[in-house]
Structure 1
Amino acid sequence: MRRPFDLKEHPMANGKTYTGPAILSAGFRPFFLLASGFAALAVAVWLAIWTGFITLSSDFSPVDWHVHEMIFGYGAAVVAGFLFTAVPNWTGRLPTRGMPLAGLALVWLAGRLASAGLLPLGPVAVLGVDQAFLLLVGAMIAREIVAGRNWRNLKVLVPVTLFWVANLAYHVEAMTTGSASSGHRIGIAILIFLIMLIGGRIIPSFTRNWLVKQGGTRLPVPFDRFDGFAILTAVIALAFWVLQIEGPIATILLGFAGFVQLARLTRWRGERTLRSPLLFMLHVAYGFIPVGFLSAALSAAGVVSAAATLHLFGAGAVGAMTVAVMVRATLGHTGRDLVAGPVATGAFVALTLATLLRVIAEVDGVNRDVFVESAGILWVCAFAFVAGKICLAVTSDKPRRKRPSSAAGHGDQGR
């Protein structure tokens, strides 16, 4: 039975029928590279804006531009890279590649330029350019799923469509009110939902395969009704968070969702994966979700800043999980061993420290600027190293070695 959310690159992608550049042979290649490079560049620009060195002519306020680009620039590129790599495995069709993939990447780039005010466009035109990317992603994914008669995976279009609507809402809210406080919460909430759904499948699966290879007997609990309950509880809690509902009920619900997500994480035996940093990263990244919910509960009670929760969810859960998945997928799909190495490990540690420093900045008002700038520098360095590692892999392939069946220990080879 074909596993859902399988990240293995379609075998035919490496056949003789494709003669173009390697970077356009599969969806993860351009979009993971663009996402990681952009994450470094956009935060470097944000630091320059924060410290007063430059200004942008964007129709967004500086803060709204920064948040929008992290969610709907970086986040959308990662989602596209994941989907255009997974869908061929669901449908049995060749992956989107070559000029269509290049064209889609250019649409994404146009959205980034327009949002930064680097194109001579008004707010409505900027909205039109920026929303085109996710609209095209949804349409192209739908075409492949329908052509492959893979009806059960049509449901993936629901979060993609919601993400597209959230981007539209972000622009409209910014144009009409001057700020997009609700829009960024909606975008982050959708990404958190995707991490809970997809992470809840791949993390225990990869962990189980690796532990079996190591001879372990205490294995992760497979996806069951508790996972469904955990996701449902979290979705309700996220609705309270998006709507900025405060008070005792919101505090209890958000706190309960946090503890349920923590219980879910402990069922995956992450403490037994310390000897595999690439695998352990996934568990650490998911850990930001329960911590984020607990922070949201304290925020609803008026104890901590709302910005702390935003960064735990955004920089922590979304940033760390996407890095862990991008590095893992890139290594596996380009014929490399699933070993993090010092570059990826160091980048992940830097990213984790950046998130913690950014949260501390919301607690320590006296040294806030120092913590914000330190967090930004660590973030830029982390993603610069990730982008370099991905670039070396996606622009060429190592010859694929025939692996024994047990070599699928991490779960994304040999499927």
Structure 2
Amino acid sequence: MPRQSDYAGPALFSYGFRPFFLAATLFGLGVVPIWLLVWRGVLMPSGPFAPVDWHVHEMIFGYGAAVVAGFLFTAVPNWTGRMPTRGWPLMALLAVWVAGRLAMTGLGGLGPVAVMGIDIVFLLAVAAMIAREIVAGKNWRNLKVLVPVSMLAVANASFHLEAMTQGSAPTSQRFGIAVLVFLIMLIGGRIVPSFTRNWLAQSGSTSRPVPFGRFDMLTLAVSVPALGLWVTAPLTVTAGVALAVCAALHLIRMLRWVGMLTLGSPLLTMLHAAYAFVPLGLFGAALAAFGMAGPAGGAHLLGIGAVGGMTLAVMMRATMGHTGRDLVSGRALNLGFLAITGAALVRVAGVSEVVPGLDGIHLSAALWTFGFLLIVRRLLPWLVGPRVATRKPSTVQQRA
């Protein structure tokens, strides 16, 4: 853990997870209802993107990028032993993120090049600040985390350029989702079995998840070209085969983590459930490549289920742990997570009527918004308030 120092500023800017997890959850709460109004033709964003591109871009590079920043600014101090970034640098970075979101709505009437310049600064700044901390802490082995962050920045720039030159950005949509999914494969593939191992040991169980090894390395190695084919040639037989193989490997990988034994800890079960959407979404993308399903199904399973579910589970756990609270999710957060995963499943139905008078798009939007409402209501006071007294070790062991 990093050493402590006096900090007299607002609690919201005392640690990196606080402002960006709050920004992500508030954004997640508001952006989908706005998108639904856009989809119904009630609103029309005046920015440089077509409506669908705006929606996808903001979910990836608005919501997703904020979560990535919050996670990294919380994890890096633990890796380096240095003080966390706090105070005015976090305020400035949050202002950059907000400026990007406003520019994407067309506020100010800026041209596409100016909007791109404002929007891409955030991830570049995050990468630079993380690099500085890792180098200063001489934590060289974690420099590799800059690769996916940099790729996310490249995907954002690519999104803008593709939209400017082609009128829409379907390839960059998949590129951005693919980077976030690979981050889940990489980081989730480390923390899920690690947290599971610790909880099982504390619970007295003799079972353990299989530790990271050659099979995990093989799975990640296969994932890179499979995701690459999904980005560049999503409806080809080659992509379908690669995605199906990749999905099978991730399913096996996930089963090796003995997630069914974690039902006594809903917060931990959420991580396993969210990761399950990785093979599920890859299978959906493979079916689309074989012409057996629509192309949007796999993307929504990956985007809403895997990315949405995993980011929420990580934000819940990190917020509880770093604000001194017991790792117990409670009914509201459990229901919020179920609503988000339910949104992923019903969204696959598309415009088909899921229940009388309600199609998959409207029901999915309602579930997503309801889930985030519960999550914001629970996490907001924790994120803006001071850390509570340190938890007792016995309580952590019993409830983690």
Same fold by TM-score, threshold 0.5 exceeded? yes
Structure 2 residue 96 is matched with structure 1 residue 120 = no
Kept in 2: contact 1:362–1:368 (CA 8 A)? no
Residue 132 of structure 2: aligned partner: 143
Range 171-180 or range 46-55, more displaced: 46-55
1:364-383 correspondence to structure 2 within 5 Å: 370-383=359-372
Cα shift readout 1:63-115 (whole Å, capped 9, x = no counterpart): 00000000000000000000011111111111111011001000000000001
Residues 1:408 and 1:26: Cα distance change in structure 2 (over 3 Å): farther
Q: Determine which structure has greater relative contact order: mean sequence separation of CA pairs < 8 Å that are 6+ residues apart, divided by chain length.
A: 1
| Correspondence 1:166 to 2:149 | no
Residue 27 of structure 1 and its aligned partner are, at CA, apart by 0.4
Q: Is the 8 A contact 2:3 2:82 kept in 1?
A: no
Kindly state the Cα deviation for residue 407 of structure 1 after the two structures are TM-superposed: 3.3
2:374 to 377, 385, 394: 385
Matched, 1:99 2:92: no
Moved more, 202-211 or 145-154: 145-154
For structure 2, which runs of at least 5 residues remain unmatched after alignment?
A: none
CA RMSD of aligned residues (A): 1.9
CA distance in 1 between partners of 2:243 and 2:68 (Å): 26
**For residues 338 and 404 of structure 1, what CA distance do their matches in structure 2 show?**
12
Moved more, 66-75 or 91-100: 91-100
2:319 aligned residue: 330
Cα distance change on mapping 1:343 and 1:366 into 2, 3 Å: closer
**Cα gap change, 1:409 to 1:154, in 2 (>3 Å):** farther
| SS of corresponding position for 1:106 | helix
Q: CA deviation at 1:149?
A: 1.3
Q: Which amino acid aligns with 1:289?
A: V
Structure 1 position 381, deviation (Å):
1.4
Match of 1:133 among 106, 122, 125: 122
Q: Are positions 1:68 and 2:57 aligned together?
A: yes
CA contact (8 A) 2:203 2:397 kept: no
Q: Normalising by structure 1, what TM-score? A: 0.93
Aligned partner of 1:27 among 12, 16, 34: 16
> What is the TM-score when the length of structure 2 is the normalising length?
0.96
> Any residues of structure 2 matched to 1:231-270 within 5 Å, and which?
231-270=220-259
Aligned pairs (5 A) from 1:36-75: 36-75=25-64
Which one-letter code corresponds to 1:150 in the other structure? N
Q: 1:338 Cα shift?
A: 0.2
The AA in structure 2 aligned to 1:31 is F
Distance 1:297 1:356 in 2: 17
Residue 211 of structure 2, aligned match among 219, 222, 240: 222
**8 Å CA contact 2:336, 2:370 repeated in 1:** yes
* Change in CA separation of 1:249 and 1:355 when aligned onto 2, cut-off 3 Å: same
Which one-letter code corresponds to 2:213 in the other structure? D
Measured after TM superposition, the shift of residue 232 of structure 1 is: 1.1
Q: Distance in 2 between matches of 1:155 and 1:410?
A: 33
Q: Do the aligned residues in 1 keep the contact of 2:354 with 2:360 (CA within 8 Å)?
A: no
**What amino acid maps onto 1:163 in structure 2?**
L
Q: Is the 8 A contact 2:326 2:395 kept in 1?
A: no
Instruction: Find the aligned partners of 1:11 and 1:62 in 2 and give their Cα distance.
Output: 46
Residue 251 of structure 1: how far off its partner (Å):
2.1
Percent of counterpart pairs with the same letter? 54
Deviation of residue 369 (structure 1)? 7.0
- The answer (yes or no) to whether the contact 2:13–2:91 under 8 Å persists in 1 is yes
Secondary structure, in 3 states, of the residue corresponding to 2:348? Answer: helix
> Are 2:352 and 2:360, in contact at CA under 8 Å, matched by a contact in 1?
no
- Hey, what's the Cα distance between the residues in 2 that align with 1:381 and 1:93? 38
Q: Deviations over 1:203-253 (max 9, x none)?
A: 001011111111111110111110011111121211110112434332222
Matches within 5 A, 1:205-354: 205-354=194-343
Letter in 1 for 2:320: L
Q: Which moved more, 1:242-251 or 1:210-219?
A: 242-251
Q: What is the letter of the counterpart of residue 215 of structure 1?
A: G
CA contact (8 A) 1:305 1:363 kept: no
Q: How far is the alpha carbon of 1:402 from its aligned partner?
A: 5.0
CA distance in 2, matches of 1:216, 1:241: 40
Give the distance between the partners of 2:130 and 2:399, measured in 1 at CA.
27
CA contact (8 A) 2:17 2:71 kept: yes
